[in-house]
Amino acid sequence: MLALVCLCLSQAEEFNGTTYKLSLSDMQVTQSIDGSSFNITIHEKTDNISLLTPDGKKTVVNSSYSFWRGDNIYRIDFGKRVTGDLVYTVPHLGQQLILPLRDNRSVRVVLPPGYTTGDRILGIARPNPDQVTIDKNETVLTWINPQGQVIDVGYYKVNAPEALKRIFALLAIMAVILLLEYYVSIRKLRAISREAEKEV
């Protein structure tokens, strides 16, 4: 089980990598950039790529699109060097995230508010993240330079382990009741059998 470290992350904290912020219906991807041209390769289509500059300005980005071997490829050329974050949103459902990584950029995964990971039955993160923090009720997992790996994160509601324990306790109580009923029924049948043998 993952040991969670409670830290308060500053909004201004600089993270030079890619952040995947999960919600219950989609995933917002924020990729830090420094250059003039970039490729974004993703499994799902998106039509809302924008550039967030260091001074807080957000502009829609024009890109060329191609589809190759199951990947959606977006080519972006600014014509000059720019710095900031490329931001886009893709659909994401379920409580598992699988990220095949193609480069050595650091990765940060922000789970939906009220969700966590680390229970081997309900969901864990593989490989183990280098850092796990909690920021405003959001669990944040960070991998530093995980080049060539596949990140697999299963997550669940924070109260799910307690609910699972209650279900197991209820099942155990029901099993004990059934065993007692079975034992009482067997004793009654044996008593009836003995009475019948005496009458014969």
Inter-residue contact 5 to 132 (CB < 8 Å): yes
What would the pLDDT profile of 161-170 be if each residue is shown by its tens digit?
676 677 777 7
Place of tokens 């080049």: 147
C-alpha distances in Å from residue 77, one per residue of 42, 99, 172: 18, 25, 62
Inter-residue contact 155 to 115 (CB < 8 Å): yes
Place of tokens 């990729």: 31
What would the pLDDT profile of 73-90 be if each residue is shown by its tens digit?
999 998 889 999 999 999
Reported confidence tier of residue 96, pLDDT bands at 50, 70, 90: very high
Reported confidence tier of residue 20, pLDDT bands at 50, 70, 90: very high
pLDDT surpassing 70 at residue 5: no
For β-strands 64-68 and 71-91, DSSP reports them as antiparallel
Give the sign of the dihedral formed by CA 106, CA 22, CA 72, CA 63. Answer: negative
The residue type of 85 is D
For β-strands 131-135 and 5-6, DSSP reports them as parallel
In the DSSP assignment, the letter for residue 119 is: B
Distance CA(40)–CA(60), nearest Å, equals 15
